[in-house]
Amino acid sequence: MDKIVTIRTFNDYFSAHVMQQILLESGIECMLLNDNSGTVLPSLTVGGIRLQVLQADEQRAQNILNQIETEADEEQDTPAYWEQDKENLHPDNRVCVYCGSKNTSTVDATRKTFLGKKLFDMAPGLFDKDKWHCFHCGKDF
């Protein structure tokens, strides 16, 4: 019987399940350890959410995940926007401070939740309304 080995550890539920699904679609049996506690009480998930495979599949699984991570890194290194798309970007969009893209939009974080909306309505001057999101790198600034 093959031993079970941990090949990746994740801090968030979403990333762990995406990688698990990639391996399952590639025909590699795998499981997540601590994924339930990671969704309910993430701060109590000691050691993170662990992606585990049989030792016989370890090298193949590592190769698949390394390839996915390399492709994601290369995509992050693409230009912030293509020159031919430049005219489609709104001229008032701010440039992302992280990657230089103008593919950005404002985000009103205070109105995302009921409590945030109530706080904003009570004291609108206390909240910074000028928040932006970059669709290229995914960061808020």
What is the rounded CA–CA span in Å between residue 78 and residue 76? Answer: 6
Q: Which residue has the higher pLDDT, 127 or 71?
A: 71
Q: Give the domain ranges of the chain.
A: 4-76, 83-134
For residue 66, give every residue at least 6 positions away whose Cβ sits within 8 Å of its Cβ, in sequence order, or none.
Answer: none
**Residues 16-40: what's their mean pLDDT?**
88
Q: What is the pLDDT of residues 34-78, one digit of tens each?
A: 887 756 666 666 778 899 999 999 999 999 999 998 887 777 666
Predicted local confidence at residue 111, as pLDDT: 47
Q: Rounded to whole angstroms, how far apart are CA atoms 124 and 46?
A: 39
CATH of 4-76, one of 1.20.140, 3.30.70, 2.40.10, 3.30.1490: 3.30.70
